[in-house]
């Protein structure tokens, strides 16, 4: 057997970072299988950490010049799990009610997961150096922000057994479906290398595990409400940015063209 086809010979340093993220994603999925709110919160906390591993493996690949086909496929498979399937399962466990409503929630979760998988599959076959549709880490960050907004608000008023706002249960299936559409739409585009995406990540991504850790430490009312408000603001800002990103870029481009004329 040729050594060129063995797994160790195909993997680079950055691929091991990807595998660490995949492992964390699998553990997050196992947390979601318990179905309790504290376990689901831990699951969201874990996938927020994979946002960091996703940034690190890409950075190492560019700096070391070790971009390869194996890594490209491995990264997409890992992202499908950690930023598509796992958030969908955690969302179902977090917002299920045990009623007929759950069938609608399932549809939303499926749309979210499929949006992530389809976006990554399309990304692999396109030669465009930019990004079409919202990158899956950004869509994952959106659902993390939405969950922790509700988690900390409920925790402030009654702890782990406090129900979320009733309207939240009606919003989340449509939000999941909408985010899934954001993944695959051609109306939203990012420039080459998606530098602005990395800037957003550098600012927002570290906050998720930090505040998620606060949730594990059973904060008091003031801390819980403060964190809930912070997550709500970040969620809304990120959602507005993703929805209007291309629209604003088009306006800026038209403005520059007008000035040049």
Q: How far apart are CA 111 and CA 108, in angstroms?
A: 5
pLDDT in tens, 113-129: 999 999 998 888 876 66
pLDDT of residue 200: 59
Beta bridge partners of 190: 131
Are the beta carbons of 107 and 181 closer than 8 angstroms? Answer: no
What is the C-alpha separation between 258 and 168, in angstroms, rounded? Answer: 44
DSSP for 202-245 reads: HHHTTHHHHHHHHHHT---HHHHHHHHHHHHHHHHHHHHHHHHH
Which residues, other chains included, contact 134 with Cβ-Cβ below 8 Å and sequence gap of 6+?
Answer: 119, 179, 182, 183, 185, 188, 242
Residue 233 to residue 254: CA distance in whole angstroms: 30
Angstrom distance (rounded) from CA 89 to CA 108: 11
Model confidence band, residue 2 (pLDDT cutoffs 50, 70, 90): very low
Q: What percent of the chain has pLDDT over 90?
A: 40
3-state SS class at 189: strand
Q: What is the pLDDT of residues 190-243, one digit of tens each?
A: 765 555 555 555 565 566 666 666 656 667 888 888 888 988 998 998 888 888
What are the structural domains, with CATH classification, of the chain?
3-256 (1.20.120)
Residue 131 main-chain phi, psi, to 5 deg = -120, 130
Q: What is the pTM of this model?
A: 0.86
Query: Could you give the angle at which helices 195-204 and 221-260 cross, rounded to 10 degrees?
Result: 160
For 31, the token pair is 């947390």
> Are 94 and 171 a contacting pair, CB within 8 Å?
no
């Amino acid at each position: 057997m040729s050594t060129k086809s063995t797994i160790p010979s195909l993997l680079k340093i950055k691929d091991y970072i990807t595998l660490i993220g995949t492992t964390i994603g699998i553990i997050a999925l196992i947390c979601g299988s318990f179905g309790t709110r504290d376990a689901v919160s831990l699951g969201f906390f874990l996938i927020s950490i994979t946002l960091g591993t996703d940034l690190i493996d890409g950075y190492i690949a560019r700096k070391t010049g070790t971009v390869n086909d194996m890594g490209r496929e491995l990264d997409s498979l890992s992202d499908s799990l950690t930023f598509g399937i796992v958030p969908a399962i955690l969302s179902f466990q977090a917002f299920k009610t045990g009623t007929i409503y759950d069938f609608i929630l399932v549809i939303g979760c499926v749309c979210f997961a499929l949006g992530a998988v389809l976006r990554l599959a399309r990304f692999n076959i396109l030669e465009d150096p930019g990004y079409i549709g919202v990158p899956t880490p950004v869509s994952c960050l959106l659902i993390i922000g939405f969950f922790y907004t509700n988690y900390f608000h409920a925790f402030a008023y009654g702890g782990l057994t406090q129900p979320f706002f009733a309207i939240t249960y009606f919003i989340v299936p449509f939000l999941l479906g909408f985010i899934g559409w954001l993944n695959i739409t051609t109306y939203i585009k990012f420039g080459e290398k998606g530098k602005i995406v990395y800037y957003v990540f550098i600012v927002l991504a570290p906050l998720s595990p930090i505040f998620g850790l606060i949730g594990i430490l059973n904060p008091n009312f003031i801390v819980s409400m403060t964190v809930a408000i912070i997550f709500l603001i970040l969620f809304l800002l990120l959602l507005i940015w993703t929805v209007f990103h291309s629209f604003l870029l088009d306006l800026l481009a038209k403005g520059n063209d007008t000035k040049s004329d």
